[in-house]
Structure 1
């Protein structure tokens, strides 16, 4: 494939945008080469500025659960745009999508909409601190909750790709209130709680990690976090920006039958537009302004275009009784096909999967946390990425990212992908 137009556009972008991109992982620093500039997308496919068609396995990093340019979502956006794009005043649609989301997700009574997953997680932490009157939080190495200062302590995903998990600009004062735990290690969490009695406001976790590749929770891990939080008066925050409305209608809380105290959303809940949200039971959410003392605000929160897109997306998910069965089946099919190819090659590998999230790690040992994710052969991953790109398959340009499956993928697409993997692996 030729990428002349993309290369030209990237050179132009570098002159006016830091690194030529508005989110670092897009720059291909983790895999080398020049990023692909997209012209349009439809269903399971991206079409770049050079006219190439690519089967898409990142799907805007998760929200395109039903495919790009999904007609009900596009129609809803167009209809709302004709009536105005922003008011800074309440609309009925905000109440409608809030009621729908609450009906789909267990253990929440109220929800507040913001503009991104980062903002949702940042606000959830502030709310937890205000509610518990404690300062410290526990997060897990390799889990990414956005670029708020509190979270850039051993963050995964893009931060890991660049080898700068502790970002300059994060003060020591902020860092001291963020305690770092090892994912899937309950003993480590218990030690931190016991060493900081009555000081930890919340534990925030990706219940299925997606920013060190796909790393599912080990059996008993989430249940153990719930028990530890209950015992220590600490709130359990599920960052379901990736998993919410993707792994089940009610996200991980529904799929694994574990109750969080605060849940953060993004991606799917916006139908592809910039939306985040956080939700909890009444006693916690009523601590928010204007009814409570914890301040949080946003001029564009509840933007009508974003609410229209999100409402159309959630309605489609809520009305489709077999959606998650289809998504799980397609992801399992891809897993089995790649497993056969990789096993026959003799290359060391591990495939992690849960629901419609999946990733390939070039290491034979189990990948259960950030340290084990870092053991993968990243040089081999770079060649794997570029090989698939040449075959017309687009995966995340980082070894530290999950792939996202969309229902728009056909089994023909999956067979094409498996064949492409076989061809690329043979070249490795």
Structure 2
């Protein structure tokens, strides 16, 4: 049994200075009745806390670290870059090089703008869709999380769902009025919405593979319908690939499904573990961004050399990576864990897409947010407490997704299967 004495003391100190003692809410572990674990360092697929405990990490900084913690090649490139300076607020060659690298992998991003977070990327993409079309209404899907900007925080998953919040105080109703929400994967509902509001809709933003209400892949017919309706009504289709980009497949969900959006937002993996985001897409739309157009966007740290360098180094390695090897490991993990749940009579469903994987304590269908809400969250919390005390670092919320890195070994997978199996026996 692990000892968390130093983490408990550190948390008591942290709450004096930060709301809830954290800088992002799900880190607080409040929903699982634990104090958060304070991390000292990470290397490859492992995390080490300040009490000296080690973990096989499946959170991976909530997705960015597909190469694992402190990848040697990324760290070496960062050390070389930092000696030249961390930020200039002026153009650098590495910005263009990262843009070229991204476009070589995601061709739909004909032009792009670098930002400092996924929230900033989605916020900017929505503003651009409104500015380009001259319309105000945005469509999002219940349980999809696109960051915490005012327009997109309605019916979001992830941290809001974990804290049982539908939207946030401080967001004017006049702003949320222009955000229309529809159940995820519901073809008939989105068809009806466009029949009623089609000519008023500036854009549709969607996680093509939802990762903020657990892992729920979009149905191909659902995503194709979005492409069809937005084209028909002159609306902008935005794929939020902050999470799925370079994770579900090298070319993202749009490559996996063969569906081309008008705009794409990226984050997480694209910065190799540093704060970064990107939004981009069709040239005719992106040319509306200042200074070329009149839709305003700016950012002091946008395109800073450290994030650009980490992104280039990460994506360059991923272009040589065999994603099928990751899928093989998750195929095996899923098969063995599901079999163990079945043997122990635990209602359970596990799935993966590329290096993203997730599980629900239910034997029912999970295709949208209502389905996730109906799963057995008590069993999830029991499993979380067992797993964290037995060496697996997993997300503390049933509304999050797990990740595999290129560094996880077959031995790590075997240990994970064993922890799941032992936990099932205690339920």
Contact 1:30/1:398, CA 8 A, preserved across alignment: yes
- 1:177 and 2:178 matched: yes
In the alignment, is residue 415 of structure 1 matched against residue 414 of structure 2?
Answer: yes
1:357 aligns with 2:353: no
* Alignment-derived partner of residue 245 in structure 1: 246
For the pair 1:13 / 2:52, whether they are aligned, the reply is no
The answer for unaligned runs of 5 or more in structure 1 is: none
> In 2, distance between residues paired with 1:223 and 1:49?
48
Q: How does 1:263-282 map to 2 (within 5 A)?
A: 263-282=264-283
Q: Do the aligned residues in 1 keep the contact of 2:220 with 2:257 (CA within 8 Å)?
A: no
Report Cα offsets for 1:126-181 as digits up to 9, x if no partner: 00011111100000000000000011111100000001121111111101000001
Structure 1 distance, partners of 2:30, 2:285, is 41
Tell me if the contact between 2:216 and 2:368 (Cα under 8 Å) persists in the aligned partners.
yes
Q: Corresponding residue for 1:139?
A: 140
Inter-partner Cα distance in structure 2 for 1:186 and 1:32: 38
Cα drift, residue 221 of structure 1: 1.3
TM score, norm. by length of structure 1: 0.98
Q: Is the contact between residue 215 and residue 352 of structure 2 (CA under 8 Å) also seen in structure 1?
A: yes
What corresponds to 1:46 in structure 2? 47
Cα root mean square deviation, aligned: 0.9
Alignment check: 8 A CA contact 1:105 1:250 kept: yes
Shift of 1:65: 0.6
Distance in 2 separating the partners of 1:227 and 1:29: 42
Q: Deviations over 1:297-342 (max 9, x none)?
A: 000000111111111001111233x2x1112112212111111111
1:77-116 pair list within 5 angstroms = 77-116=78-117
Cα deviation, residue 220, structure 1:
1.1
Q: 2:344: which partner in 1?
A: 345
- The CA deviation at 1:32 is 1.6
**What's the offset of the Cα at 1:196?**
1.1
2:166 and 2:66 mapped to 1: Cα distance? Answer: 29
Partner of 1:47: helix, strand, or coil? strand
Find the residue that maps to 1:61 and give its secondary structure.
coil
Deviation of 1:276 (Å):
0.2
Distance 1:265 1:218 in 2: 21
Q: Which residue of 1 aligns with 2:375?
A: 376
| Aligned 1:257-296 pairs, distance under 5 A | 257-296=258-297
Residue 414 of structure 2 aligns to a residue whose secondary structure is helix
Contact 1:144–1:211 (8 Å) recurs in 2: yes
CA distance in 2, matches of 1:230, 1:29: 44
Structure 2: distance between partners of 1:85 and 1:106: 29
Whether contact under 8 Å (1:86, 1:303) holds in the other structure is: yes
Q: 2: CA distance between counterparts of 1:352 and 1:134?
A: 38
Does residue 65 in structure 1 map to residue 66 in structure 2? yes
Q: What do residues 341-363 of structure 1 show as CA deviations (whole Å, max 9, x unaligned)?
A: 11111111122322211111111
Indicate conservation of the 8 Å contact 1:139/1:180, yes or no.
yes
Give the Cα separation in 2 of the matches to 1:303 and 1:56.
28
Superposition TM-score, scaled by structure 2 size: 0.98
CA contact (8 A) 1:29 1:161 kept: no
User: Aligned pair 1:297/2:291, yes or no?
Assistant: no
State the partner residue of 2:405.
406
Aligned residues: 426
- For residue 72 of structure 1, report the CA deviation from its aligned partner: 1.0
SS across alignment from 2:219: coil
Moved more, 292-301 or 228-237: 228-237
* Inter-partner Cα distance in structure 2 for 1:218 and 1:282: 28
Which residues in structure 2 correspond to 1:128-277 (within 5 Å)? 128-277=129-278
Q: Distance in 1 between matches of 2:102 and 2:289?
A: 19
List runs of 5+ in structure 2 lacking aligned partners.
none
Extract structure 1 runs of 4+ deviating beyond 3 A.
none
Contact 1:216 1:352 in 2 (8 A): no
